[in-house]
Structure 1
Amino acid sequence: MDEYFTEDEAFTAGIQKQVETITGWLADPAMDAERRFELAQPKELTQPEDLRLFLTEQELAQAQWDQALVVYITGHGLRGQSRRHYLTFGHTSPDRLLATAFPTSELITQVMDSEAEHVLVLVDSCFAGSLKSELGVLFEELCAQRRDLKTLAVITSGDFEQEPHRGEFTWLLKLALDKVRDESAGFTAPHLSFEEWEKLLNTVGDENPGLLRALWVWPDSRRDEPSLCLPNPHYQPKDQVVEASRQPVSLSASTLEQYWLARASGRTDDDDPGWYFSGRQTLMQALVEFVHAGAGVLVVTGAAGSGKSALLARLVTLSDPLFVTRFADMVETVPAPLRPRLRAVDAAVLARGKSSLALIEDLLDTLGAEGVGGEPPLQALADRVAAACAKVLGRVSSRDQGTVRVRSLIQIIEARRCRPAR
């Protein structure tokens, strides 16, 4: 909120700069779309009703489980006689806070009591630390499952008696983000955890004792679990060498350099262009023939370390158009009987440790299929496989090496309901 009818242009510009610090991080156009946030800002807030209308329009309380929410609240704040924190407006009367101001906790509880799994609320306002005791009581109304989530957080600009200077809190955040961007800091994952974020804020606070400290209102302890609310501005997406539908069982660019092209191919050094197989031609040819003309499901079995993963990874990777285009010269050295046609494998997923439902959902997502009208996932998958005559590969563990043909994919999935993957 930046309109208080005071004609203080410096204040309005300062608030705008604070907002730009946050949006420049979370909605950076250079960030990949999967991590970048969509912005929603109110056009004008002159009274509590304006804010309530905006919140209703945004449907924050109805946010779904797979959504991530970051709410940045800034503007003048007051602490009432009841120790409740309020956001004030141009016509707010200190003697009539209930009628002319907005209880900050009303906004926070809406997003915290939504179904969104990842929520971060930043309150940049005077006396915002008073929310710690206020929300501590209100959050008792959250269900136990919600309270146990460690991916929800509320952070304020200082404690209950502190009045941050304009831009002070976002400057603290900027310093923390600058550290993340520093190559030597070693932050390479797509997202930061709340534990990492807390350490960063504490570090820049220690290095800048003149700045106020960020106060963690919720949760009481931070976990080292990635938060979708904290995209890493330094993150560089890995170079993918195959299309998305085959990535789970394919080989990354780094793996190709460190293992695949050097060991699995049989090359003696980086200058050797050959791609050699030793003792696996028969099995590899069987896999290739199956994806070309086989029926049902082919299950590759074998003792631990016998090479099941390498075989399937070769098959998946060599059938990918992106890989074949990128490494055309090398692929040409592979004998034709050991080389699957392009897109011979429609989709590849990892089944290890997954429930039947999780495996089905992964397959549906990879195949780009969805159930219609509440159709059960298993039926949706069966329809998709039948319609496209797709060849789907699965990998299981056993003692004997060889190949076993199974009548249908559905039999495999049904069996996994009673027998967890190893």
Structure 2
Amino acid sequence: MSETETPEEIRGAALGVVVENYQSGRFRQLTGATAQMRELCELLEERGYGTTVVEDPEWNDVNKPLGDWARKWRATGGHGPAVVLWSGHGVLDDRELRLIVRDTVDPEFDGEVHSANLLASTASLSGADQVLLLIDTCHAGAGVVPSLEKALDRLSQRNLPPGRWAWFGVIASCRPQEKAEAGGVLLDAFARVLREGPRTDEYRHEWSRRNGQVSGNTVIQAVLAEWPAEVGHRPLNAMTGRDRLMFANPLRAAATEPELVEHLVQAARGAAPDDEGWFFSGRRRVLGEITEWLEARRPGLFLVTGSAGSGKSAVLGRIATLSDPAHRADVLAHQPLTPRDPDPGEDSVDVALHLRGFTVQQLAEAIARRLSLPRPQTPAALIAEVEKGWPESRRRLVLVLDGLDEAAPDQAHPVVEQLLAPLSRLSCVLLGSRDRPFRPQQEPGESLDRALSRILGIRARAADLDDESDTERDIQEYCRRRLLARALPMADATTAAELVARRASPNSGGFLFARMATDSVIRRLSAAGAEGWDWAEAIPSSISAAFTEDLESGPVRERDGAVLPRAAEDLLTALAWSGGNGMPARGVWEAAASALSGDGIEYGPEDVDWLLNEYGRYVVEDSDGTQAVYRLYHREFVAHLRHASGHSDGAYHVARAVVDLLRGQTSDATVSENANPYLRASLAAHAVMAGERGTSMVRELTYAQEEVFRPDLAEVLGDVAVSLSHAGRREEALAPAQEAADLYRALALNNPAAYLPELAGSLNNLANVQSATGDGQAALTTIAEAVTIRRNLAKANPAAHLPDLAGSLNNLAACQSTTGDRPGALTTITEAVTIRRNLAQTNPAAYLPNLATSLNNLATCQSDTGDRPGALTTITEATDLYRTLAR
């Protein structure tokens, strides 16, 4: 499921039975019960449930409306979820709950009462796979066990097809021997949870604002947790089966709401989320340069680079935070800006994204979503939309993009070439990334800013935080502020801050080390006070040491009386091996952590909540467009946990868990659409990380369901080939590249619309590998096939496929020239120039650089065929274009 897709809406049925008035004087009137039931059913209607309310039924006619409701939903509901509610009086007779109706005279007479058994039967006969039963009466708990037994009996008779799961949950307002207070406490609590979500200071991952829906079990647990302490009776619940999503999450953020990535917010704050205060300090020179650059609103790219922990995310986060109105207000409430503090201004940033795990296409979709633009078919389509004008295009677009070095494997170059280069000619792009070698390189060890300048065709503006002269002073001030906020005496705070700042050299982790070292000092203060500390001994020696110390001395998970000493490390390590921009919970994160435990421990949702509450300072919550996903806060934690001795072969174990869970959620791969979206979307990434065994696991899936998983295997093989080729292992890349092309060819025979573009791309990659291994003739044959396919695709859909055709023609010309067909190369590159010239007329920002490249190649071909005057004219045009792009 893509970044822009949303989960399906809930469609369910609800039956509410309420008895407010009674003929017998034995039972007092329950004033307001009918109004309460109606309001609750209206609330359910707003959340996708069709509702039926049965008011004050009598014993001889209560069964008909209930049966009609069940039969109707069974016929029309498509097995959608059902909620059944009963509100009224209940009587306990020989440990059996008897539900009183309007004309009940003698509760001991079976013919004058209803029962929890019959209510459970009604719910089960509705055909719903997910059923929640609520009984709000005196002695309601006596109906829990019979209801569950009836449900189990019904479920045992149902043989659900693959991909469907049954769940039955029941919650009663009180225990069997208790009388419930008037007022419908259970229904009120249920309505409040549906309307507002849980009231708790602790994090509950199921209720993340990024999750669109929650399960019936999640709602039950919230009701139980928030039961009013002053109420003299306690609810009772039971359930069986596998719960699925059942209710809309009231905490879900509106899809159109601007979303500042939490990675940036935390970094800007310079402290863990639960550490009161905003402590960002310094970096005024770099921030001043950025704000001046933004104020000018001239298109271009500003790169903020530096070593790990140098504060790149903090700088970008400061800009994004001061732009977002809500976060800006929070910053100013804690620490007003001074005249010396650079300020980009409110609403100065249009898009703020962290690029971890993004492919170039996923990034294009994410940017389009935040700009309220149509989902682009290609990165070039996004550029065209931006060039035409986005909804707020009265001013220059500003994008803050952090973590280019954390993009999906081998995607940094395509991201820059296909998106950032053209966007930087239309908008202001503020980019954060480590200054590390960038493939493909022009020369060994080429720095990132030089590579960006080469690809963009202009000199990218850059700031290297490792070169900042005020770094030590800025770190010292940051640490001092945090320690003073924890009431450490000024002298001690100054001493500790000076020591941290001296140790936090660029090679030792800079600001990241400072943050963690300060965390360590604060933990020690909380445990033992500030008296008599040897600060040189108290401060950790490195990021790794601080991280290890925190995990070893921090909270330990206890569950059902047992201690789980490695819970924090297992759960965090699972995230270190996540794919995309993070891993969801909902069984996925739990399964990955369980696979890493090594001693058979199985982690569940409650363990995820524990980890996020106790160690949330190391975790960032984001969204994949349909659900909350989680990733580690910094790459240093990823590196540390991946290489920890306790988790050898972690990539394989996590990949194994992903594949096993995928098979389990899809009934052994027979109903693939029922799997959590992450499992399919990140399958290739996990397989590649796991190496040859990862590829073998995907082959296992193809053996189970070849038609379903052949595309996944083709994707994995293609990614493996690209990675091997970029690593210089071109001979090894040849076999997976060839197999990927063969698979896509077979897929395209049955579904050309879906797979011909993939086949052309895989052939293009195969030709590159063949050429790199010296097999020029094979490369020529392969790239010629790719050109033929893309030519046919471009005839049917020029906008989507002409750019790719031009690229393949460019490669074909190179192969023709290499194999001695210089006239053929001239003809081919001339066609590529013609296509790119036409494209550049309608979308110059995206295609002028490519046109200049093709003109350069055309000039070479003209010179090789003896047309030196033509070559001079062509290279002159190319040079003029490069000059234009460099302005």
TM over 0.5: yes
Residue 214 of structure 1, CA deviation: 1.5
Q: Tell me the equivalent position of 2:84.
A: 71
Deviations 1:242-278 (A, max 9, x none): xxxxxxxxxx9657x97xxxxxxxx9976656477x9
Backbone CA RMSD of aligned residues? 5.3
Equivalent residue letter for 1:191? Q
Residue 216 of structure 1, CA deviation: 0.4
**Contact 2:193 2:222 (8 Å CA) reproduced:** yes
Q: Tell me the equivalent position of 2:36.
A: 18
Q: Tell me the equivalent position of 2:245.
A: 227
**Contact 2:101 2:112 (8 Å CA) reproduced:** yes
Residue 198 and residue 411 in structure 1: after superposition, are their counterparts in 2 closer, same or farther (change >3 A)? Answer: same
Q: Tell me the equivalent position of 2:138.
A: 126
Q: Tell me the equivalent position of 2:371.
A: none
Residue 215 of structure 1, CA deviation: 0.8
Alignment of 1:304-343 (within 5 A): 307=360, 309-310=362-363, 314-315=379-380, 317=382, 325-326=390-391, 328=393
Q: Tell me the equivalent position of 2:151.
A: 139
Tell me if 1:210 matches 2:231. Answer: yes
Q: Tell me the equivalent position of 1:160.
A: 176
Query: In structure 2, what is the Cα distance between the partners aligned to 1:71 and 1:232?
Result: 20
Equivalent residue letter for 1:200? A
Query: In structure 2, what is the Cα distance between the partners aligned to 1:219 and 1:359?
Result: 24
Equivalent residue letter for 2:182? R
Query: In structure 2, what is the Cα distance between the partners aligned to 1:19 and 1:40?
Result: 10
Q: Tell me the equivalent position of 1:99.
A: 111
Question: Per the alignment, in what secondary structure is the counterpart of residue 326 of structure 1?
Answer: coil
Gaps of 5+ in 1: 29-34, 241-251, 259-266, 279-303, 340-348, 361-394, 416-422
Q: Tell me the equivalent position of 1:110.
A: 122
Question: Per the alignment, in what secondary structure is the counterpart of residue 40 of structure 1?
Answer: strand
Larger Rg: 2
Residue 131 of structure 1, CA deviation: 1.5
Question: Per the alignment, in what secondary structure is the counterpart of residue 396 of structure 1?
Answer: helix
Query: In structure 2, what is the Cα distance between the partners aligned to 1:198 and 1:90?
Result: 29
Equivalent residue letter for 2:59? Q
Query: In structure 1, what is the Cα distance between the partners aligned to 2:130 and 2:672?
Result: 21
Tell me if 1:396 matches 2:715. Answer: yes
Question: Per the alignment, in what secondary structure is the counterpart of residue 217 of structure 1?
Answer: strand
**Contact 2:215 2:244 (8 Å CA) reproduced:** yes
Which TM-score applies when normalising by structure 1?
A: 0.56
Question: Per the alignment, in what secondary structure is the counterpart of residue 170 of structure 1?
Answer: helix
Query: In structure 2, what is the Cα distance between the partners aligned to 1:318 and 1:6?
Result: 74
Give 1 or 2: higher helix fraction: 2
Equivalent residue letter for 1:314? P
Alignment of 1:4-403 (within 5 A): 4-5=22-23, 11-20=29-38, 22-23=40-41, 25-28=43-46, 35-42=47-54, 45-57=57-69, 59-62=72-75, 64-81=77-94, 83-94=95-106, 97-144=109-156, 149=165, 151-167=167-183, 168-173=185-190, 180=197, 187=207, 188=209, 189-194=211-216, 196-205=218-227, 208-219=229-240, 227-229=245-247, 231-239=248-256, 274=299, 307=360, 309-310=362-363, 314-315=379-380, 317=382, 325-326=390-391, 328=393, 358=672, 396-397=715-716, 398-399=718-719, 400=721
Query: In structure 2, what is the Cα distance between the partners aligned to 1:50 and 1:181?
Result: 34
Question: Per the alignment, in what secondary structure is the counterpart of residue 134 of structure 1?
Answer: helix
Residue 313 of structure 1, CA deviation: 6.2
Deviations 1:171-216 (A, max 9, x none): 44466568736596653233334554344333333x5143422210
**Contact 2:24 2:103 (8 Å CA) reproduced:** no
Query: In structure 1, what is the Cα distance between the partners aligned to 2:673 and 2:187?
Result: 43
The percent identity for this pair of structures is 12
Question: Per the alignment, in what secondary structure is the counterpart of residue 101 of structure 2?
Answer: coil
**Contact 2:168 2:239 (8 Å CA) reproduced:** yes
Residue 44 of structure 1, CA deviation: 5.4
Question: Per the alignment, in what secondary structure is the counterpart of residue 178 of structure 2?
Answer: coil
Deviations 1:135-158 (A, max 9, x none): 343234233478995743111111
Equivalent residue letter for 1:326? P
Query: In structure 1, what is the Cα distance between the partners aligned to 2:299 and 2:670?
Result: 40
Deviations 1:315-341 (A, max 9, x none): 5655779x964254668x9969x99xx
Q: Specify which structure has the bigger relative contact order, considering alpha-carbon pairs within 8 angstroms and separated by 6 or more residues.
A: 1
Residue 233 of structure 1, CA deviation: 2.9
Question: Per the alignment, in what secondary structure is the counterpart of residue 233 of structure 1?
Answer: coil
Equivalenced residue count is: 315
Equivalent residue letter for 1:238? A
Deviations 1:223-253 (A, max 9, x none): 8x66314x3333333228xxxxxxxxxxx96
Residue 103 and residue 413 in structure 1: after superposition, are their counterparts in 2 closer, same or farther (change >3 A)? Answer: farther
Residue 10 and residue 95 in structure 1: after superposition, are their counterparts in 2 closer, same or farther (change >3 A)? Answer: closer
Residue 317 and residue 86 in structure 1: after superposition, are their counterparts in 2 closer, same or farther (change >3 A)? Answer: farther
**Contact 1:3 1:45 (8 Å CA) reproduced:** no
Equivalent residue letter for 2:49? F
Gaps of 5+ in 2: 1-18, 265-289, 304-356, 365-376, 398-419, 427-624, 627-658, 675-713, 723-736, 757-887
Query: In structure 2, what is the Cα distance between the partners aligned to 1:219 and 1:176?
Result: 22
Deviations 1:49-84 (A, max 9, x none): 244234314524546455221121112223344x44
Question: Per the alignment, in what secondary structure is the counterpart of residue 187 of structure 2?
Answer: helix
Question: Per the alignment, in what secondary structure is the counterpart of residue 51 of structure 2?
Answer: coil
Query: In structure 1, what is the Cα distance between the partners aligned to 2:96 and 2:76?
Result: 26
Question: Per the alignment, in what secondary structure is the counterpart of residue 138 of structure 2?
Answer: coil
Question: Per the alignment, in what secondary structure is the counterpart of residue 54 of structure 2?
Answer: coil
Query: In structure 2, what is the Cα distance between the partners aligned to 1:94 and 1:7?
Result: 11
